[in-house]
Amino acid sequence: MATRESPDSDASGTAGPHGGGDRRGAVEAESGQPGEAGGLRGSAGQGAGAGGWRVEQITDRGRLEDLAPAWRELFGASGTTNPFAHPAWLTTWAEHFVEEGSLRLVAVWEREALVALAPFYREAAGAGPAGFRRLRLVGAGQEPLTELAQILALPSRRRRAVRSIVEDLHGQPRDWDWIEIFVGPEHGWLEPESVPAASGSMVMSLFTHACVIVPLPGSWDELRRQLKRNVSESIRRSRNRLERDGHAWSVRELAEPAQVEAGFTELLALHRARAALTGRAPRRDRLADPRHEAFAREAVVRMAGEGLARIHLLDIDGAPAGGLVALHTPETVFLSLSGYDPRWWEYGVLNLLTAEVMRAGIRDGAAAINLSSGPENTKLRWSERIEVHQLFAIVAGARRSRMAFGAFQHARAASQLREGHRVAKAVAREHAATERRLATRGGGSGEATRGGPSGEGGRTGT
């Protein structure tokens, strides 16, 4: 652990956190008064700068539990809509995927209040000129379920905190070639001025991570009027077909940790049944790796223990036919892992279940549903509002670091081209199969019928 101090005055904006959650952390930071809530508190011997502003680097994973109360309070006060930034999720992630000695968590304190947290870890690959060392945010890489990584900060301290974090990482013995930082919509951009001028480091924009957002009004009737006509019609058809064919259906909403753990097993079976389906748009089994499955199960159950995770299961004739993991923040519901029984595909079960999860979100006062990353037709049918998260790299000024970064980017671009080609071929096959099915039925084409009676509208989550 290392501690640095900063005498800078705060030049950032003064907007408060978005509703929901405990504002105490924000009030303490804005007023400069010490907090009463539990958390990891600094000792007087660590020498805070003017205003009590100090930066601390933590490398011991064992200290994460000590930090959790203050981290949890910061999560609520930050106004984040990213459930993957909660300590229950990220401490689980670190336990599963961060090697001992690789943690580089940077905490920013103002007097006794935690005002920002950047949970980095160090990743090294290769040796010699072909090797590289980078810092990534905990949650980035390693497994496919964690879709968003970020630096948590109070809104009124965000830009100052990011500058302090970057300065601290440059001030420590530098064991990295570049740092990767996700910047959410609330921060906007990572300016070149975020990097110490004398460091020689440069800021590079790497790629955009986009999510589809469905704003939730105050009632289900208002939402139905807000949705596109073909989506409303597909929901109605799913209900009508089930009732017409004599099938009884209901939705189970599992919230208690023991219920969520049992429901996760049911959902995983549905996820794998969908991944094994042929003749439809290809879906990978995201948890085929046993390590990924073990992590996902533990993380979702821990989030349920915080009241931030639920599993929604659609039962037809008493058996599970579709399922979704919903992760919560004070204002947003994020749709994560999903699956369905292929026998019920023609009934648009995920489309129907997604609508029911939205109904539950309205009931609970959520402001929006995040349909997860990767805008595509089956998500954009619900909404065309996009939320953008930008990945930046801060590349060290050393020639070796810049060469390593250039070689890595070349390899990444080649991999992305191969993946893009694979997806394009899969989409073409799906389109051709859909046209054949429509021709066999003697029906016309159209957005409402592609991909099934409901467009498989539950291609939300992963």
Q: Percentage of the chain surpassing pLDDT 90? A: 68
Q: Is 276 exposed, middle or buried (0-12, 13-18, 19+ CB in 10 A)?
A: exposed
Please name the residues in contact with 268: beta carbons below 8 A apart, sequence gap of 6 or more.
287, 293, 297, 339
Nearest Cα to Cα of residue 229 among 456, 447, 453, 460: 447
pTM: 0.83
Phi, psi of 174 (to 5 degrees): -80, 110
Tokens 């790497």 -> residue: 206
Q: What is the pLDDT of residue 419?
A: 72
Q: What is the pLDDT of residue 441?
A: 63
Q: What is the pLDDT of residue 456?
A: 47
Answer for the pair 454, 234: CB distance below 8 angstroms, yes or no.
Answer: yes
How far from the centroid of its chain's Cα atoms is residue 86's Cα? 10
Q: Does 2-199 match 213-387 in CATH topology? A: yes
Q: Class of 213-387 per CATH?
A: alpha beta
Q: What is the pLDDT of residue 407?
A: 87
Nearest Cα to Cα of residue 10 among 115, 135, 156, 139: 156
Q: What is the pLDDT of residue 139?
A: 95
Tokens 């939730």 -> residue: 216
Q: What is the pLDDT of residue 462?
A: 60
Instruction: Give strand pairing partners of 153.
Output: 116
388: its two tokens: 């953008």
Residues of the chain with pLDDT under 50: 3-47, 443-459
Q: What is the pLDDT of residue 1?
A: 52
Give the amino acid at 140. A
Per residue in 414-446, pLDDT tens? 877 887 777 677 767 766 776 776 677 654 433
Mind spelling out the 3-state secondary structure of the chain? Answer: CEEEECCCCCCCCCCCCCCCCCCHHHHHHHHCCCCCCCCCCCCHHHCCCHHHEEEEEECCHHHHHHHHHHHHHHHHHHCCCCHHHCHHHHHHHHHHHCCCCCEEEEEEEECCEEEEEEEEEEEEECCHHHCEEEEEECCCCCCCCCCCCCCEECHHHHHHHHHHHHHHHHHCCCCCCEEEEEECCCCCCCCHHHCCHHHCCEEEEEEEEEEEEEECCCCHHHHHHHCCHHHHHHHHHHHHHHHHCCCCEEEEEECCHHHHHHHHHHHHHHHHHHHHCCCCCCCCCCCCCHHHHHHHHHHHHHHHHCCCEEEEEEEECCEEEEEEEEEECCCEEEEEEEEECHHHHHHCHHHHHHHHHHHHHHHHCCCEEEEEECCCHHHHCCCCEEEEEEEEEEECCCHHHHHHHHHHHHHHHHHHHHHHHHHHHHHHHHHHHHHHHHHHHCCCCCCCCCCCCCCCCCCCCC
Spatial separation of the C-alpha atoms in residues 411 and 428, rounded to whole Å: 26
Instruction: Give strand pairing partners of 340.
Output: 322
Please name the residues in contact with 187: beta carbons below 8 A apart, sequence gap of 6 or more.
158, 159, 162
Spatial separation of the C-alpha atoms in residues 168 and 172, rounded to whole Å: 6
Spatial separation of the C-alpha atoms in residues 350 and 146, rounded to whole Å: 21
Spatial separation of the C-alpha atoms in residues 160 and 49, rounded to whole Å: 14
The structural architecture, per CATH, of the domain 2-199 is 3-Layer(aba) Sandwich (3.40)
Q: What is the pLDDT of residue 438?
A: 66
Q: What is the pLDDT of residue 331?
A: 94
Q: What is the pLDDT of residue 422?
A: 74
Spatial separation of the C-alpha atoms in residues 372 and 215, rounded to whole Å: 14
Give the amino acid at 449. T
Answer for the pair 349, 341: CB distance below 8 angstroms, yes or no.
Answer: yes
273: its two tokens: 């049944």
Instruction: Give strand pairing partners of 301.
Output: none
Q: What is the pLDDT of residue 35?
A: 35
Domain segments of the chain: what residues? 2-199, 213-387
Answer for the pair 366, 442: CB distance below 8 angstroms, yes or no.
Answer: no
